[in-house]
A = this chain, B = another copy of it.
Amino acid sequence: MQTMEPPFTKQLRSLPASIPFVGPETIEREENIRFQARLGANESAFGISPNAEQAIKDGATATYYGDPTNFNLRTELAGVHGVSINQILVGGGIDGLFSLIAQAFIEPGTPVTTSRGSYPTFNYFTTLCGAALGLVPYRDFCPDLNALAKEAQRSKSRFVYLANPDNPTGIFQIRNRLENFISKLPEDCLLILDEAYIDFSPPPEILPVGKEGPRVIRMRTFSKAHGMAGMRIGYLIADQEVVAGLNKIRNQFQVSRLAQIAALASLKDSAFIDSVVAAVAAGREDYHAIGEELGIKTLPSASNFVAFDLGSPKRVSAVLEALKRKGIFVRTGPPPNNRLLRVTIGAPRERTLFAAVFKEILASEHLGASK
């Protein structure tokens, strides 16, 4: 087949070919490795609710399209959060929702503000639509809320993006700080509040749903505490005018039938989620203890991962490579947060394996020297 120059848009041609995430399957294939512990993508080590599993096992449901309105799930979510069903939009995970939001709000040159070094997928989808990204430095591994608000004011941003808890640091902004931050944003600027990990955060300090005001879009997912990363389902809670606009352009069949059914079943199994949250909290303590034992700073985390500060990107690269050779899949953050080793809270077996290998690697002289 001869090749041609396809008639892509100018915008697409200007984008680099990029691989935002190299998955463990690719590494296994290309480097002939078998991972023993999958601690790089903050998936859940604690599975899914038995109720959800039962729902999935009803395989016949794979045959029919899911309800394009996601009615049952939205009804349940509206009840859980005490909002109107018209404030909820279900999509293909938070990444799918980013894509939708970018298409709805971003034109070439639209100013957007985010933190340099935070979760990159928001940037990926907004850049694709031509956003002009204003990137604000972290302060002490924490998204700098004052600087974000100031930059949003300066650039007249349409969006500010904030992950809370942050990724890759795990840092959590308590309610008061968030409220103060929101009050400082420009009147017509939306806050995209990515709460993928919020189920692992202390409930009394979470900004209550309904108190965030009409300029905030809260993003939630079933990929983390609910253990359904592989099913692609998330949702947003927003002002109903925002939801109505997004509904104009939503891919109505994006969310699979199995995912809708499994998410609904999981949502009704709060005892399971509580058990996962408790198990993750115990795992965080394990990781902090490992850091303390090794003299490596760990960042406080309100998520299902812990970031170890190895001091330099070079050291992180060497440790990542050594972990990979020992069958452990772990990742770091985007620059300048690539001096962090971000490790998912694994199951006890995985944590024990990680601890042993991590200690062994750090004890090796070569890596000790590059510290």
Contacts and interface: CB of A to CB of B under 8 A. Distances in A.
Contact of A38 (B2, B64, B71, B239): B64
Nearest to A249: B128
A25 B65 CA distance: 10
A106 interface: yes
Given A8-B245, A249-B15, A71 B26 contact: yes
Contacts of A369: none
A38 B64 CA distance: 9
- Of listed A66, A93, A103, A253, residue having the most chain B CB within 10 A: A253
A366 interface: no
A132 interface: no
Interface string A49-74: 00011001101111111111101000
A9 B239 contact: no
Contacts of A229: 62-65, 257
Contacts of A256: 230-232, 256, 258-259
A6 interface: yes
A179 interface: no
Interface in A1-52: 1-13, 15-18, 20-21, 23, 25-26, 29, 38, 41, 43-44, 47-48, 52
A304 to B, nearest CB: 12
Given A16-B248, A57-B59, A59-B56, A65 B92 contact: no
Report copies per complex: 2
Contacts of A15: 248-249
A5 B253 contact: no
Contact of A12 (B11, B83, B104): B104
A64 B24 CA distance: 11
A254 B232 contact: yes
Contacts of A21: 68, 252-253
A317 interface: no
Interface of A: 1-13, 15-18, 20-21, 23, 25-26, 29, 38, 41, 43-44, 47-48, 52-53, 56-57, 59-69, 71, 83, 87, 92-93, 95-96, 99, 103-107, 110, 125, 128, 158, 188-190, 210, 213-215, 223, 227-232, 239-242, 244-245, 247-249, 251-259, 262
A65 B93 CA distance: 11
A239 B23 contact: no
B6 A62 contact: no
B190 A6 contact: yes
Contact of A210 (B1, B17, B213, B230): B1
B53 A41 contact: no
B68 A3 contact: no
The 5 lowest CB-CB distance pairs between A and B, nearest first, are A230-B257, A25-B67, A53-B59, A4-B214, A63-B227
Contact of A190 (B7, B44, B48): B7
A371 B215 CA distance: 54
- Of listed A4, A48, A128, A256, residue having the most chain B CB within 10 A: A256
B105 A9 contact: yes
B253 A215 contact: no
Nearest to A227: B63
